[in-house]
Amino acid sequence: MGIYLNPTNDEFYNAVNKSKIYVDKTGMLKFTNSVLSGEYKNICVSRPRRFGKSMAANMLVAYYSRSCDSRDLFSNLKIAEAADFEEHLNKYNVIHINMIDALSRTDSIEEMIDYLQRRILWEVKKEYSDVECFDWNDLVDVLETIYSEKKQPFIIIIDEWDSIFRKYPHNYDEQKKYLDFLRFFIKGKAYIALAYMTGILPIKKYGEHSALNMFDEYSMTNQRELAEFTGFTEDEVQDLCSQYDMPYDKMKQWYNGYDLKGVHVYNPRSVVMSLLGHDFDSYWTKTETYEALKKYIQLDMYNLKELVTRLIAGESVPVNPNKFQNDMTTLESADDVLTLLIHLGYLTYDFYNETVSIPNQEVQKAFEKLAEPRCEK
């Protein structure tokens, strides 16, 4: 077992057994099992901060990693009821990368890529010292050779994949180097049984084209089969409110409202904080990203003041999310700003009517504060 290759199940174990509140989302593993080694094995899931991205990544590690024995950990969870539960349990080499952690260790994207390749190669060498391929220093060549000889496939899990674009928003050359690295690492590789990336933003576009077109995307504009695993469902929140003697109607008013093609989900972070504190407050909306968006609205760029006024009044506003370039800097229209707010969780998107609205009271309060007149100094 290592840091990047075949890590332990400790993080998911702690979430299940040490957290005061754990909601079972292991049903998602039935979906990932269904796409293993197939045409749709490359998945990019984007959702807002504190919507369980890292929890899902740690769950995948615990279930698939060959270094673990996670049978007892999962035996009382939903995935244990699946017919293929045992078939895939702890049967794969897992490479788990948290890009925020990797970025913090280096001073540039190029250094980060070099560090990751060297560090993963070092762990692979320890695990497969009997394979004669380590005179090479190319990670892809080594993984291809190991798979060819051992027939043990790899699962690649990349958490916070888009943190590079948030840290280096204007460094387009470095961003392209990163995307090229991911493409070479993942695209068309027989050694990969599953590639699972998660972040806040969908995959970065250049022009009208995605740089990583081998991925199927599951985002806040269309979570597809993963909608019920994006946040807490209505049934799950009703059960929690009953356990903690909290009024469900008020919980719904404060934290519900995310409509994912008819599946209604709650902000999980806020629900948990509300239950533990036994109150209702704005637990989630205070972020630096939202502060940065103030300029677009308060300077009335793209007529956004009027649109925000309509949203606060309870209206739904038409939006076209398709031209959004999936970054936080290329905002060239009201549609771009509104689409970014969808991905950040400040608006909910009606897929069928192509409109946005404010999801709940917690977010409503943030918009009302944003709309207050500024005091000029």
Assign residue 68 the CATH number of its domain. 3.40.50
Helix axes 288-298, 304-312, angle to 10 degrees: 120
Task: Name residues whose C-beta falls within 8 Å of residue 152's C-beta, 6 or more positions apart in sequence.
Answer: 66, 92, 93, 146
For residue 324, tell me if it sits in a domain: yes
The DSSP bridge pattern shows strands 209-210 and 205-206 to be antiparallel
Q: How far from 35 is each of 74, 159, 192, 194, CA to CA, in Å?
A: 20, 19, 12, 8
Q: Do 273 and 307 fall within a single domain?
A: no
Buried b (16+ CB within 10 A) or exposed e, 152-188: ebbbbbbbbbbbbbbebeeeeebbebbbebbeebbee
- Determine the pLDDT at residue 286: 61
Considering the domain architecture, whether residues 172 and 60 belong to the same structural domain is answered as yes
What's the chain's length in residues? 377
Calpha distance 184→141 (Å, rounded): 11
> Are 214 and 255 found together in one domain?
no
Range of the domain at 244: 232-277
Has residue 190 been placed in a domain? yes
Shared domain check, 265 and 126:
no
When comparing pLDDT for 280 and 136, which is higher?
280
**Per-residue pLDDT at 299:** 66
324 shares its domain with 183 = no
Work out the percent of the chain whose per-residue pLDDT is above 90: 74
Between 4-13, 125-134, 153-162, 356-365, the lowest mean confidence (pLDDT) is in: 125-134
Q: Is residue 259 part of a domain?
A: yes
Q: Is pTM beyond 0.85 here?
A: yes
Q: Are residues 257 and 143 in the same domain?
A: no
Tell me if 201 sits within 8 A of 165, measured CB to CB. Answer: yes
Across the strands, what pairs with 266?
A: 232
pLDDT of 288 > 70? The answer is no
209/92 same-domain check: yes
Task: Based on the fold, state whether residues 164 and 72 are members of the same structural domain.
Answer: yes
Band (204; pLDDT cuts 50, 70, 90): confident
Long-range contacts of 305-309 (CB under 8 A, 24+ apart): 305/371, 307/334, 307/338, 308/367, 308/370, 308/371, 309/371
Residue 176 has pLDDT above 50, yes or no: yes
- My answer on whether 125 and 43 are in the same domain is yes
Q: What span, in angstroms and rounded, lies between the C-alpha atoms of 46 and 43?
A: 10
Q: Does 293 score more than 90 pLDDT?
A: no
pLDDT digit string, tens, across residues 9-23: 999 999 999 999 999
Tens-digit pLDDT profile for residues 43-83: 999 999 889 999 999 999 999 999 999 999 999 999 999 99
Burial tier of 303 (Cβ tally within 10 Å: 0-12, 13-18, 19+):
exposed
- DSSP code of residue 303: G
The predicted model gives 131-136 an average pLDDT of 75
Residues 270 and 292 in one domain: no
- 283 located within any domain: no
Q: Indicate whether 208 pLDDT > 70.
A: no
Cβ-based neighbours of 121, under 8 Å, separated by 6 or more: 134, 137, 139, 142
Confidence check: pLDDT of 184 > 90: yes
The mean pLDDT of 275-299, rounded to a whole number, is 76
Instruction: Judge whether residue 352 has pLDDT over 60.
Output: yes
Read off the pLDDT of residues 89-121 as tens digits, 9 standing for 90 and up: 999 999 999 999 999 999 889 999 999 999 999
**What pLDDT does 377 receive?**
45
At 292, is the pLDDT very low, low, confident or very high (cuts 50, 70, 90)? low
For residue 166, being part of any structural domain is answered with: yes
Residue 282 within any structural domain of the chain: no
Place of tokens 């939202």: 290
Domains: count for the chain: 3
Question: What's phi and psi for 205, nearest 5 deg?
Answer: -105, 150
User: Do 254 and 316 have their domain in common?
Assistant: no
pLDDT at 273: 95
If asked whether residues 27 and 128 sit together in one domain, one would say yes
Q: If you average pLDDT over every residue of the chain, what do you get? A: 91
Could you count the other beta carbons within 10 Å of the beta carbon of residue 325? Answer: 19
Alpha-carbon 77 to chain mean position: 22
For residues 179 and 210, the answer to whether their CB atoms sit within 8 Å is no
When mean pLDDT is compared across 141-150, 287-296, 309-318, the lowest value belongs to: 287-296
Residue 301, pLDDT score: 77
- Strands 263-266 vs 232-233: parallel, antiparallel or unpaired: antiparallel
